[in-house]
């Protein structure tokens, strides 16, 4: 039986411009290339999990526009179950992205239909998916929707993974419903007011959670907590072309690993490997691969 995962989250169309350097205030620069692709943190995570072999469901909300049609076709092409897709009037989500020559990105997310996902419909959908092992959430849909979905998960012994991105302060209630909390170093600093590269900070914050903490550290890999110890798992040395979507690749691969009964450390190693591979190619979902 395939590992069964459901992502409840965002779908966006990425509009990516590649430039030598990001323009300053009032400055115009010429870009080297442009591409439009499929994104949204939830969608990216679902695509990675599906690529690795999980039976993946996506609960998301799209608008009534051509972007929705494109997104639906992309989900079908990637073997994502969209039986529980929601459609609302208005526009789908979009994300203009700038990427400089070092591979670093700047992203503006315009949520559109993502802000209108219906929690009641999502919970009803989840109740119809049998043998679901993991539910993944992020912060590109309303936090109250994620909290209600995670509450359903807890009541039904389903493991929850929360990627708090873009960075917002989660409620204590949402944190109490989270089994695996996975911020990057910037999100960790925003939420905890502490430096992720100081072990004591990771231990103190990790021990304040009812669930488990993993902090992704870019090219330095990731760190997790085992009681009063920090376990650091390094990333391979690669030449970064575009870091867009690397964190989502990590979360999707980690979810697949957990659902496939890997140990948490082995799931983290798999996640680092897939995230590191993704930064060596331009684009978001198109940079993902199975191996």
Annotation says 219 is catalytic:
no
Domains of the chain, start order: 4-21+32-282 (3.40.1190.20)
Give the list of residues 6+ apart from residue 263 with CB closer than 8 angstroms, or none. none
Give the list of residues 6+ apart from residue 141 with CB closer than 8 angstroms, or none. 8, 9, 10, 42, 61, 111, 114, 115, 117
The answer to which of 96-110, 157-171, 190-204 has the lowest mean pLDDT is 96-110
Q: Encode 50-99 in three state secondary structure.
A: HHHCCEEEEECEECCCHHHHHHHHHHHHCCCECCCCEECCCCCEEEEEEE
Of 14, 248, 266, 273, which residue is the catalytic one? 248
Confidence of residue 280 (pLDDT cuts 50, 70, 90): very high
Confidence of residue 130 (pLDDT cuts 50, 70, 90): very high
What span, in angstroms and rounded, lies between the C-alpha atoms of 32 and 257?
Answer: 37
Preceding amide of 166 cis, omega within 30: yes
Mean pLDDT, range 143-147, rounded to an integer: 97
Instruction: Of 56, 44, 43, give the one whose Cα is nearest residue 3.
Output: 56
pLDDT at 50 over 70: yes
For residues 10 and 146, is the Cβ–Cβ distance under 8 A? no
pLDDT at 1 over 70: no
For residues 101 and 77, is the Cβ–Cβ distance under 8 A? no
pLDDT for position 103: 82
Give the list of residues 6+ apart from residue 253 with CB closer than 8 angstroms, or none. 48, 49, 52, 267, 270, 271, 273, 274, 275
Average pLDDT, rounded, for the chain? 95
């Amino acid at each position: 039986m395939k590992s069964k995962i459901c992502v409840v989250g965002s779908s966006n169309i990425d509009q990516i411009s590649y430039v030598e350097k990001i323009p300053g205030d009032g400055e115009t620069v010429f870009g080297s290339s442009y591409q439009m692709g499929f994104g949204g943190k939830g969608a990216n995570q679902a695509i990675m999990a599906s690529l690795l072999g999980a039976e993946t469901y996506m609960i998301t909300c799209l608008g009534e526009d051509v972007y929705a049609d494109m997104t639906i076709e992309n989900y079908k092409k990637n073997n994502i179950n969209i039986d529980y897709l929601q459609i609302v009037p208005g526009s789908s989500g979009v994300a203009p992205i700038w990427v400089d020559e070092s591979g670093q990105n700047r992203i503006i997310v315009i949520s559109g239909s993502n802000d209108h996902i219906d929690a009641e419909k999502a919970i009803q959908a989840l109740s119809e998916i049998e043998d679901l092992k993991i539910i993944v959430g992020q912060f590109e849909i309303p936090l109250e929707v994620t909290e209600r979905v995670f509450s359903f998960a807890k009541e039904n012994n389903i493991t929850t993974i929360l990627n708090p991105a873009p960075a917002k302060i989660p409620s204590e209630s949402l944190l109490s419903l989270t089994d695996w909390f996975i911020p990057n170093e910037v999100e960790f600093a925003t939420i905890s007011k502490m430096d992720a590269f100081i072990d004591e900070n990771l231990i103190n914050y990790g021990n304040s959670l009812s669930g488990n903490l993993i902090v992704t550290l870019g090219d330095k890999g990731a760190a997790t907590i085992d009681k009063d110890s920090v376990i650091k798992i390094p990333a391979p040395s690669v030449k970064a072309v575009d870091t867009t979507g690397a964190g989502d690749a990590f979360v999707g691969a980690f979810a697949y690993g957990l659902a496939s009964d890997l140990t948490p450390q082995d799931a983290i190693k798999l996640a680092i490997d897939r995230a590191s591979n993704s930064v060596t190619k331009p684009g978001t979902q198109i940079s993902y691969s199975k191996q």
